[in-house]
Amino acid sequence: MSTIQTQREAFYGRADTQSLAPLWTRLKSLVPEAPAPACVAHQWRYEDVRPYVLESAEHISAKEAERRVLILENPGLQGSSQITNSLYAGLQLIMPGEVAPAHRHTQSALRFIIEGSGAYTAVDGEKTLMEPGDFVITPSWTFHHHGNETNAPMVWLDGLDIPLVALFNSTFREDYPSDEAPVSRPAGDALARYGSGLLPVGYQSGSLNSPVFNYPYARTREALHTLTRGSEPDAHAGYLMRYVNPVDGGWAMPTMATTIRLLPKGFATRGYRSSDSAVFVVVEGRGRLQIGDERFDLSPHDVVVVPGWMSYTLHANDDLVLFSYSDRVAQEKLGFFREQRF
């Protein structure tokens, strides 16, 4: 080693004793020219993971587990419980007769229903029955529990902002004193009151979240198919819609941006990239997702993570419906969000 380098190394060693470190050896990796996410593109084929999700019921009850979930951990972020740098994902199973006990936490959660019919989640005093394709939100610090009074297992994808909350060290949690928190309003109340193109006169929301907490797929699907008759799909996205807070027109949740899109059979998108890493769930249909040089063949209920700032294209073999969530809403508020169309 040259004298200069030897002297520098010695200096760094002495500086380290004072908890000091040189920026100049790290600057380019601390501040790269463009995002270099540690998260990698990855697919969980539902056909492959479903047996594991169902087997988890042989090993633990929902009550003992509190939440019986297999985490979808990004292979580039092993040991982190993260699917992207800022988000968590898992597949949760609730068997007939089970209750997942009530608790609350500062993390916001979303559910995207994969399989089963009619199990419920209770959020902040209202139950909703869940059907495949429904998008359900659990706002930060609201008590919630889940139950399955049907005779079939129910599986959904959980998306939470755990890494974001951890970054700010603002995690709090509290268990409800009994398994079930009280339910004070009839099922469907929030959807009728806030999600029917109506709002109570004088309504003032004190929340950062949409007051609609279940966006039923029956309505979403009808909307997607109806709008295909009135316009051409966007070249980079297909018929892409976002879940909206009807009170202010913003995203449904403050940290996680959620969308649903339809690509008509035979349609292919042009390349697109954005600074938010996104988690996609195949709702209906088959197709292809090309991320960089990797190609993923999509089937219903598959989950795929697309790292931020990697260009991707989609191709629909059938009418293809995709749900997605990302931290776009947080990036927009902080002024970080960027996108590029090819």
Binding site for ligand 1HN (CB under 6 A): 67, 69, 90, 92, 105, 109, 144, 158, 160, 162
Q: Which ranges in the chain belong to alpha helices (H)?
A: 3-16, 27-30, 46-59, 62-65, 162-167, 189-194, 217-227, 328-334
**172: three-class secondary structure by DSSP:** coil
* Token digits of residue 339: 């996108």
Provide, rounded to whole angstroms, the least separation between the CB of residue 23 and ligand 1HN: 35
Provide, rounded to whole angstroms, the least separation between the CB of residue 141 and ligand 1HN: 12
The smaller minimum CB distance to ligand 1HN, of residues 74 and 275, is found at 74
* Token digits of residue 71: 């985490």
CB 22 within 8 A of CB 274: no
Provide, rounded to whole angstroms, the least separation between the CB of residue 233 and ligand 1HN: 34
CB 145 within 8 A of CB 121: yes
The smaller minimum CB distance to ligand 1HN, of residues 147 and 254, is found at 147
The smaller minimum CB distance to ligand 1HN, of residues 175 and 339, is found at 175
The smaller minimum CB distance to ligand 1HN, of residues 137 and 160, is found at 160
- DSSP conformation letters of 174-208: EE-SSSS----B-TTHHHHHHSSS---TT----SS
- Number of continuous H segments (helices) and E segments (strands) in the chain: 8, 22
Provide, rounded to whole angstroms, the least separation between the CB of residue 165 and ligand 1HN: 10
The smaller minimum CB distance to ligand 1HN, of residues 158 and 319, is found at 158
Taking CA atoms, 170 is separated from 89, 166, 327, in Å, by 19, 6, 17
Provide, rounded to whole angstroms, the least separation between the CB of residue 94 and ligand 1HN: 9
**Taking the CA atoms of the chain, what radius of gyration do you get in angstroms?**
22
The smaller minimum CB distance to ligand 1HN, of residues 104 and 261, is found at 104
In the sheet that 287-291 helps form, which strands lie side by side, from edge to edge? 294-298, 287-291, 312-316, 272-274, 339-341
The smaller minimum CB distance to ligand 1HN, of residues 87 and 321, is found at 87
Answer left, alpha or beta for residue 108, where phi above 0 means left and psi between -120 and 50 means alpha: beta
The smaller minimum CB distance to ligand 1HN, of residues 122 and 310, is found at 122
Provide, rounded to whole angstroms, the least separation between the CB of residue 66 and ligand 1HN: 8
User: Which residue in this structure is represented by tokens 């749900």?
Assistant: 323
Provide, rounded to whole angstroms, the least separation between the CB of residue 312 and ligand 1HN: 27
Provide, rounded to whole angstroms, the least separation between the CB of residue 145 and ligand 1HN: 8
The smaller minimum CB distance to ligand 1HN, of residues 108 and 210, is found at 108
Provide, rounded to whole angstroms, the least separation between the CB of residue 181 and ligand 1HN: 12
DSSP code for 318: S
Taking CA atoms, 240 is separated from 196, 224, 237, 266, 342, in Å, by 21, 9, 6, 16, 17
